[in-house]
């Protein structure tokens, strides 16, 4: 990964931070995206120390907001003349329905639309940097998902688990279609279930959580 540039969303803790640290150890220049500037700066400092790699950059954005995603993309394009890897990791689980600044159901907006929009905004830079790749963190919960095209915003009835499953299935469907469209471009698209891990993603709701799936739990945005 020496001389490679990577962007990791949701990179201030949990799976995202571990990914960023691992890539930094391998010699990559890593940009982490977090919602809170103080937390993001602290995470970057920690990654620099643990990896021995000073090339860790910080970007801040509330990725549930499409305006913030667009601003983030512009800042990344300005900062990085090339982008070798985009890791779409940001996500969360909410037991109760919330809407974003755009009026969208929060789970779908953050877990799927944010990654969808950011990927498309950075795609030309990824193609220009080929060979490159897009890696999206989904969940085994996608196997229980169903896309309700008649009520994507869950306005009729809300289930945190159903909304989460749907968003993770959308990650998979998006990645498969992206891979098809990028065939021959030198950019690969991969989607994954990271397995069972212990993170602090549910800390805000004071619920114990041991799985990156966040099954049955309420969590704050990573």
Tens-digit pLDDT profile for residues 84-117: 999 999 998 889 999 999 999 999 999 999 999 9
Q: Return the SS3 of 17.
A: helix
Q: So what's the pLDDT on residue 148?
A: 86
pLDDT digits (tens, 9 = 90+) for 181-218: 999 999 999 999 887 766 655 443 333 333 334 333 33
Cβ count within 10 A of residue 197: 14
pLDDT digits (tens, 9 = 90+) for 132-181: 999 999 887 777 778 888 888 888 889 889 999 899 999 999 999 999 99
Which H helix or E strand runs over 137?
strand 132-137
Concerning whether 164 is annotated as a catalytic residue, the answer is yes
pLDDT digits (tens, 9 = 90+) for 51-86: 999 999 999 999 999 999 999 999 999 999 999 999
Q: So what's the pLDDT on residue 139?
A: 80
In Å, what is the CA distance from 118 to each residue of 5, 107, 111, 133? Answer: 16, 16, 12, 14
Marked catalytic residue, from 80, 158, 164, 176: 164
How far is residue 214's CA from residue 222's CA, in Å, rounded to a whole number?
11
């Amino acid at each position: 990964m020496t001389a490679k540039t990577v962007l990791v969303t949701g990179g201030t803790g949990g799976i995202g931070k571990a990914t960023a640290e691992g890539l930094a150890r391998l010699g990559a220049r890593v940009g982490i995206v977090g919602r809170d500037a103080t937390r993001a700066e602290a995470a970057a400092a920690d990654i620099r120390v643990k990896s021995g790699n000073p090339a860790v950059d910080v970007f801040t954005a509330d990725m549930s907001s499409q305006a913030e995603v667009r601003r983030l993309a512009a800042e990344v394009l300005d900062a990085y003349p090339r982008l070798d890897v985009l890791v779409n990791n940001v996500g969360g689980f909410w037991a109760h329905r919330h809407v974003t600044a755009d009026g969208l159901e929060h789970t779908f907006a953050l877990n799927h639309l944010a990654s969808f929009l950011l990927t498309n905004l950075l795609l030309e830079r990824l193609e220009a940097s080929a060979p490159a790749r897009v890696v999206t963190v989904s969940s085994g919960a996608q196997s229980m998902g169903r896309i309700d095209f008649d009520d994507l915003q869950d306005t009729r009835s809300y289930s945190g688990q159903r909304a989460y499953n749907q968003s993770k299935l959308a990650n998979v469907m998006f990645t498969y279609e992206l891979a098809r469209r990028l065939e021959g471009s030198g950019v690969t698209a991969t989607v994954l279930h990271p397995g069972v891990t212990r993170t602090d993603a549910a800390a805000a709701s004071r619920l114990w959580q041991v799985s990156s799936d966040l099954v049955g739990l309420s969590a704050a945005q990573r």
